[in-house]
Amino acid sequence: MDPKYRMCDGRTRDGVTWQRIMRGNTQFIITVNHEGVRGTRVGDDFLRQFKASAEENQRNIQAIFDSWEAHGRYIRLPGGPPVPNAFDIIMDFCLPVLQRLAPSTSVQGLTLQDFVAAPTYLLNVVRANTGDDLTVKGVDQCSFAPTHSISPITLDSLPVLHTTQHVKASSVVIAPVDDEKKFRGPHGRVLLADGVHKRFKARLDARELEASFLRELRILDRIKQDGLDKRFRLCRLNSIVTTDDGSCIVGMLLDLMPGGTDLMDKQNWRPDMFAKWEEQVRTIVRELHANDIIWGSVNAGNVIIDAEQDAWVIGFGGITHAEFVDEDIMGTVDGDMQGLDRLFGRYLPTKAGLEERETTTGADV
């Protein structure tokens, strides 16, 4: 398969397989009805490979169960060569059509608007009218839709905001990509018209994520309004990104933070730094609570350690994990306290090979 095509997702159900493919910012949703292609040369090749892939997946699943039963953990066993993806056969067949409809594979210089209103083709691979060949239907029907799970919402869905400006999606350019094979979407570093880099955080397409996005936007706006982002190491809201017609919000822009990694990174499992980072994070959370702001997203991925070995608090979407906070107190002051106790008293010591520390849930910070 052409390496500049990115296979994003897909599934098979009731004898129908579909895959979403990206080429540049053009997306193709390709559907194959198994019975509809049976008896054709390409279709039969696809079905044989599909069966082999399904059998290989089943063997892998069984190997995991067997390993857990025998050893209490998964031990990867040596196996044969990987089974090729069955959909590669369909991709090879469709390749000339896709190259004609989307001549460019590059994302360099594209704007957020190019991903919010991306050319979209719904293609069906079907039996041709004559012979045992296949053909592609839908090539003359192009619509425009968001890609990479971006899901704009109307501006009237927004909470009341106090300090945030709006910028149009077409004025925000994707930052230069070093290796386009690794491009996973417009989320992340972007470039404004004045040459300043920001981080783009999109509103994604799930109901629970809509609530999370709006919560984070509201809290970051409040943090900015109260000036907390100037006094503490907190992510800073820059602006809201809207569709070019101004009717919908696409996402938000955040100021870039000093380079660093989160506490899930093993390079940060340093016992000599735990006390410093804990004190820094607790100081920030204490100030948030004093301003009636609940962090609500306590987990190791939401504490960033910068190049100066200082801790930052990010992530205000309210999505947390039972590993850190019990479900019945999530989104409360006690939940934040329990999360901090477990993060610094259990998670990090365990990762560093230390004994867990005695903690008291809800202790004063």
| 139 and 23 fall within a common domain | yes
Rounded Cα distance between 14 and 36, Å, is 13
Query: What is the length of the chain?
Result: 365
Answer yes or no: is 171 within a domain: yes
| 157 and 84 fall within a common domain | no
State the pLDDT at residue 278.
97
State the pLDDT at residue 361.
47
State the CATH number of the domain containing residue 325: 1.10.510.10
Answer yes or no: is 159 within a domain: yes
- Provide the edge-to-edge strand list for the sheet that holds 260-262: 260-262, 303-306, 311-313
Q: Are residues 147 and 115 in contact, defined by beta-carbon separation less than 8 angstroms?
A: yes
| 25 and 95 fall within a common domain | yes
Report the domain count for the chain: 3
Share of the chain above pLDDT 70, in %: 88
Task: Give the pLDDT confidence of 17-62 residue by residue, as tens digits.
Answer: 999 999 999 999 999 999 999 999 999 999 999 888 888 777 777 7
Average pLDDT in the 208-226 region? 89
| 295 and 197 fall within a common domain | no
Q: Are residues 201 and 189 in contact, defined by beta-carbon separation less than 8 angstroms?
A: no
Rounded Cα distance between 262 and 270, Å, is 12
| 13 and 106 fall within a common domain | yes
Task: Give the pLDDT confidence of 301-353 residue by residue, as tens digits.
Answer: 999 999 999 999 999 998 878 899 999 999 999 999 999 999 999 999 998 88
pLDDT of 124 over the 80 cut:
yes
Answer yes or no: is 282 within a domain: yes
Domain that holds residue 315: 260-351
| 126 and 29 fall within a common domain | yes
Answer yes or no: is 356 within a domain: no
Answer yes or no: is 23 within a domain: yes
Task: Give the pLDDT confidence of 166-181 residue by residue, as tens digits.
Answer: 999 999 999 887 777 7
Task: Give which of 250, 252, 244, 238 is closest to 170, Cα–Cα.
Answer: 244
Which residues, at least 6 apart from 344, have a Cβ–Cβ distance to it below 8 Å?
274, 277, 278, 281, 357
Answer yes or no: is 85 within a domain: yes
Report field, pTM of the whole predicted structure over 0.75: yes
Average pLDDT in the 102-109 region? 89
State the CATH number of the domain containing residue 228: 3.30.200
Average pLDDT in the 280-294 region? 98
Task: Give which of 185, 188, 134 is closest to 20, Cα–Cα.
Answer: 185
Q: Tell me which of 120, 145, 170 is where a domain ends.
A: 145
Averaged pLDDT score across all residues of the chain: 87
Rounded Cα distance between 220 and 254, Å, is 9
